[in-house]
Structure 1
Amino acid sequence: MTAHYDLTAAKGGVRLDKYVAEQVTELSRTRIKELVQAGKILVNGKQAKVAYKVEAGDQISVDVPPLEALQVEAENIPLDIVYEDEDVIVVNKPQGMVVHPAAGHPDHTLVNALLYHTKDLAASPEGFRPGIVHRIDKDTSGLLMVAKNAKARESLEAQLAAKSNKRLYLAIVHGNFSEEAGTIDAPIGRNPRDRKQMAVVENGKPAVTHFKVLEQYPGYSLIQCQLETGRTHQIRVHMDYIGHPLAGDPLYGPRKTLPGAGQFLHAAVLGFKQPTSGKWLEFSVEPPKLFQDTVAELRKKRVKQA
């Protein structure tokens, strides 16, 4: 299904691609350029160039067709299946694996592996992420729930929207805390200064993260985070926002950090109601070896709590 947006420019002086990127945050600048060139983005009913300077009052229409050209192939990639029934699959995604195909990652994703494992995956509107109802970043490890049919997709998405499911993460962050726990309630949107990043911005979408400090070490802490919402990069952005960026985070963390293969973030606990029976299901998995080994090394220098 094609998504459609009708925009009215409040002020001028901004390039067309930048203006659309600020208004339709899920579109990358690369994708916007493709849409402009394909005549899917019109200014006052006429095709314009990417570099066109928007004027106040311009009527801009944006049509975003599904990425039908992206063919998703089944690939024989090993999966760590934690649970499976006729409706859902719970999988422990390894660090380094992308969840679904996208520009720059057309294959070797979790979806490619799932398609080899089963033909029963709920269709997705976009076509390239069957079964996927939520995602975790490439370098985040841990638990994901996958829908095998339309009924299951509707149920799991409704639970996510109602915030009735359970998602607990473990993270190693920079710095130490004076408090034992806290809540970060700060809206998240695209960083206007860097399109690759998300940020806490005034007009962002509501985002709430609860955290609890588990252990503290010299310069680092082990925390548990519970998501109330599921914004892109939410934990990474929120922890950076309060001055405790994730160790190893290439986008939001400092360069001087713990050696690893990306941010030390692990989706450790996942709970939800089974779509057919309504029975509560809850699963937990240990972090990957690198995460555990890093914690073991940090514990040798553990900071004693007062």
Structure 2
Amino acid sequence: MKKVWHVSNEREGRSIKEFLLKEAQFSRQIFKLVKKNGQVTVNGEEVELWKPLKSGDEVTVFFPLEERGSYIKPEAGPLSIVYEDEDLLVIDKPSDIAVIPSIDKSQPCIANRILHHYDKQGISSTVHIVTRLDRNTSGLMVIAKHAYGHMLLTRKEKLIDRHYKALVQGFLEFESGTIEEPISRVEGSIIRRTVSEIGKPSKTLYEVEERYSDCTLVRLQLMTGRTHQIRVHMAHIGHPLIGDTLYGGVEAAELSGQALHCAYLKLIHPWTKEELTFTSDPPAIWEKYK
């Protein structure tokens, strides 16, 4: 994989190293990988990275081949691809499938299917999950096709905006609201989270979309990204998600876990800077609750 930059008048005089760290926004780790195992050329010629650049120079970075860990293996299986280019993959994940392999690696997972998809295209990358979903949460996910794209998308700048839909028990008192309660891990558990004074700051916005006979369809936006944040916050205000037995929800035979779906995703493309927007309808089985 390679990327090309053209040096503007304002960047003239910078060393190649400084250009890559500031203009190309390389992390120190990415820079070290390229320096050790990749290649950098200016106007088609390999040069020392301390040399200054001139206006109009063409800087090309050839990124090193990525190593794949032994914990994920290519595996054929359905993969609902919403968008794909040389940098990104956006998929619509079904519920009841994990994103990464289980400890015993006995169950299918999204990561393995992505590697199989890459192999069919001759892509040597490993899997870089940008927006991960729980096993039983469905909807839109972003995957970077290389480490550089993953680094750009996971920096502190807010390049991705996600909205979820959920079926929650009962009727919410207000049409919209903000839940701002800290979340921490439950003592003695590696899975469960809870609202706690010693937790990390967490903020969720919600808006009622429809009320049904005994549950409510809610649209939610995460302002922070804590594990199980929506599930914990909705349970905390007395409206656990349908099927979310881990947090007090009533078991639903029709659902494989909690009724939670990433329905809207907007992102700034890490390379082109184009704004991309995607939508996804919740699973059809939710219609039974109307």
Do the two structures share a fold, i.e. TM-score over 0.5?
Answer: yes
2:130 to 110, 114, 133: 133
1:143-292 paired onto structure 2 within 5 Å: 143-158=140-155, 161-192=156-187, 194-255=189-250, 259-291=254-286
2:136 matches 1:142 = no
Distance 2:252 2:283 in 1: 18
Q: Distance in 2 between matches of 1:142 and 1:196?
A: 21
Paired-residue identity, %: 40
The equivalent of 2:114 in structure 1 is 114
Q: Greater CA deviation, 96-105 or 145-154?
A: 96-105
The CA deviation at 1:268 is 0.5
Shift of 1:116: 0.4
- Distance in 2, matches of 1:136 and 1:71, equals 19
CA contact (8 A) 2:242 2:251 kept: no
* Structure 1: gaps spanning 5 or more residues: 1-67, 124-129, 299-306
Shift in Å at residue 280 of structure 1?
Answer: 0.5
SS at match of 1:232: coil
SS for the counterpart of 2:171 is coil
SS of the aligned residue for 1:86 comes to coil
The superposition leaves residues 39-69 of structure 1 with CA deviations (integer Å, 9 ceiling, x where unpaired) of xxxxxxxxxxxxxxxxxxxxxxxxxxxxx98
Aligned residue pairs: how many? 220
In structure 2, the CA distance between the partners of 1:287 and 1:181, relative to structure 1 (3 Å rule), is same
Q: Tell me: CA distance 1:164–1:183, structure 2 relative to 1, closer, same or farther (3 Å).
A: farther
Contact 1:121 1:149 in 2 (8 A): no
| Equivalent in the alignment of 2:88 | 88
Alpha-carbon deviation of 1:117? Answer: 0.3
Structure with larger Rg: 2
Specify every segment of 5 or more residues in structure 2 that has no aligned partner in the other structure, as ranges. 1-67
Decide whether the 8 Å contact of 2:254 with 2:285 is kept in 1. Answer: no
| Residue 105 of structure 1, CA deviation | 4.4
Instruction: Determine the C-alpha separation between the residues in 2 that align with 1:250 and 1:95.
Output: 16
Contact 2:163–2:219 at 8 Å: present in 1 too? Answer: yes
Counterpart Cα distance in 2 of 1:106 and 1:270: 31
- Closer/same/farther in 2, CA of residues 198 and 104 from structure 1, 3 Å limit: farther
Q: Distance in 2 between matches of 1:106 and 1:151?
A: 31
Q: How far apart are the structure 2 equivalents of 1:69 and 1:85?
A: 23
Shift of the 104–207 alpha-carbon distance from structure 1 to 2, 3 Å rule, reads farther
Quote the offset at 1:134 in angstroms.
Answer: 2.4
Q: Distance in 2 between matches of 1:183 and 1:91?
A: 29
Distance 2:241 2:117 in 1: 33
Question: 2:130 touches 2:154 (CA, 8 Å); kept in 1?
Answer: yes
Question: Cα–Cα, structure 1 residues 115 and 166, in superposed 2: closer, same or farther, change >3 Å?
Answer: same
1:272 Cα deviation (Å)? Answer: 0.6
